[in-house]
Structure 1
């Protein structure tokens, strides 16, 4: 690289731009920002290997023992192909077992292993600590309301995603 080009790059000021107002007003932008921050916080404070979806699957298996993989996919907001991939990875790590259903060999019955139950217990403790920290900016009496609102919005956004074309409000 020639000296003049190197000098020009070095002299270019770094600008940190604020997001445009119309972007900040968009709910999707706020949701994406929150999700990116959540992934970062999860990795740093909860577990860098076990993912949030894996934690959700472990929690659902504990709550609904001997349920099948497809039935639990909806409970943890995963499509069936993603659920299958998540379960395969956790099975390889020895956190769960997947066995054929005695009534339908295509269905996989999920169970926690001892290692899976231990991992779930430890990660649950760290997750609850993160949950408290994430909602710390909200008055204590409104925290369950905010969590409920986020879940209500999630369900509504899932329904919007399933709809046909949206009408143009022209």
Structure 2
């Protein structure tokens, strides 16, 4: 690690030249994950939907796949804690995209379904999200894409085990 006395003199750069990320940050996986996340969020807002968040889309995807499943179980499938899941579902319900019903066998369980507007919205956003995926993975062969996705999945699982969701 560089000490302050070892820092690079900024007067060596032209006034318009931005400094590059320090190697200490480029060697930190969390820094790179944050950069990826920031770039992805910006790309999502410009290319997919500026009003629907990634977690909202993940919840719509899970409901589309597992209609009638309880809210708590779906939270696990989209890597959200229970309180965040409840907030996301409430917002989607307020927008008329999701319907919650009480399980007739267990009044504590809330079962989730897409409304017709939710299905339409999901299909529209899904198509744009897949287009963004293509842009993000452009230039990679199918095998390279598969390897990258497997590595990202492994990292996500490892990091989730370090700081599990509550």
Same-fold status (TM-score > 0.5): yes
The Cα RMSD (Å) is 1.2
Cα distance in 2 for partners of 1:122, 1:151 equals: 26
Show structure 1 runs of 5+ residues with no match: 1-12, 163-170
TM-score by length of 1: 0.84
Deviation of 1:104 (Å): 1.9
Deviation of 1:138 (Å): 2.7
Cα distance in 2 for partners of 1:156, 1:49 equals: 31
Runs of 4+ residues deviating >4 angstroms: none
For 1:91, what is the secondary structure of its paired residue?
helix
- Alignment pair present for 1:74 and 2:76: yes
Cα distance in 1 for partners of 2:127, 2:58 equals: 14
Show structure 2 runs of 5+ residues with no match: 1-14
Deviation of 1:15 (Å): 5.8
Q: Which residue of structure 2 lines up, in the alignment, with residue 161 of structure 1? A: 163
For 2:88, what is the secondary structure of its paired residue?
helix
For 2:32, what is the secondary structure of its paired residue?
helix
Cα distance in 2 for partners of 1:33, 1:19 equals: 11
- Alignment pair present for 1:57 and 2:51: no
Q: Which residue of structure 1 lines up, in the alignment, with residue 111 of structure 2? A: 109
Deviation of 1:85 (Å): 0.1
Q: Which residue of structure 2 lines up, in the alignment, with residue 42 of structure 1? A: 44
Cα distance in 1 for partners of 2:151, 2:143 equals: 14
- How many residue pairs get matched? 150
Cα distance in 1 for partners of 2:17, 2:80 equals: 39
Higher gyration radius (CA): 1
Task: Identify the match of residue 23 of structure 2 among 21, 31, 53.
Answer: 21
Q: Which residue of structure 1 lines up, in the alignment, with residue 34 of structure 2? A: 32
Cα distance in 2 for partners of 1:151, 1:115 equals: 31
For 2:163, what is the secondary structure of its paired residue?
helix
TM-score by length of 2: 0.86
Q: Which residue of structure 2 lines up, in the alignment, with residue 127 of structure 1? A: 129
Does 1 or 2 have the higher relative contact order (CA < 8 Å, sep 6+)?
2
